[in-house]
C-alpha cells in the first residue's frame, strides 16, 4: 500500500475555497475535500456520513454557508471546516473522515500513515 501520494500542485488549491481533489487510495478512486486557509490545510474524504454521498453539488463545487460551514448538497448537513463535525442536519454530531495532507516543495501530499492534525 502506498502511504504517500502527491495530489497536485499547491498553486491549484485556492486559498479559502473548498476544493475537490480526485485520487486513488488502495487502487480505488477516491475524492477528497481540501480546504486551505493560508498555511493551514485540512482534508477529508468527500463522503457524507449521512448517506455516503459526495458533498459537492457539481464536481469540485461545494456549498459554504455565510458562517463558513460546509453544507452537503444532498440533504443539507452542515459541517465545521476545522474539525469536520456535523453541527446541523441529519447526521448531527458525526464527522467527515479526515486525512493527513501537507505541503512539500509546492506540492500537496496525502500521507495515509499519519493521523490528521487537530487544529
| Pattern 76-115, ligand FES, x by CB under 6 A | xx-----------xx-------------------------
Q: In angstroms, give the least distance from the CB of 43 to ligand FES.
A: 18
* 64 is a site residue for ligand FES (CB under 6 A): no
CA–CA dist 26, 50 (Å, integer):
24
For 33, other C-beta atoms within 10 Å of its C-beta total 26
Q: Tell me how many residues contact ligand FES (CB under 6 A).
A: 11
Q: Is 45 in the site for ligand FES (CB under 6 A)?
A: no
Q: What is the C-alpha separation between 43 and 57, in angstroms, rounded?
A: 18
Strand 28-37 and strand 40-45: pairing? antiparallel
Amino acid at each position: 500500500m502506498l502511504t504517500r501520494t502527491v495530489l497536485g500542485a499547491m498553486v491549484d488549491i485556492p486559498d479559502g475555497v473548498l476544493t475537490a481533489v480526485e485520487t486513488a487510495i488502495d487502487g480505488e478512486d477516491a475524492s477528497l475535500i481540501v480546504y486551505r486557509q493560508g498555511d493551514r490545510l485540512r482534508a477529508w474524504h468527500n463522503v457524507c456520513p449521512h448517506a455516503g454521498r459526495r458533498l459537492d453539488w457539481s464536481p469540485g463545487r461545494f456549498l459554504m454557508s455565510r458562517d463558513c460551514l460546509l453544507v452537503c448538497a444532498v440533504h443539507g448537513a452542515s459541517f465545521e471546516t476545522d474539525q469536520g463535525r456535523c453541527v446541523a442536519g441529519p447526521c448531527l454530531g458525526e464527522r467527515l473522515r479526515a486525512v493527513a495532507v501537507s505541503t512539500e516543495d509546492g506540492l500537496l501530499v496525502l500521507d495515509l500513515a499519519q493521523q490528521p492534525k487537530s487544529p
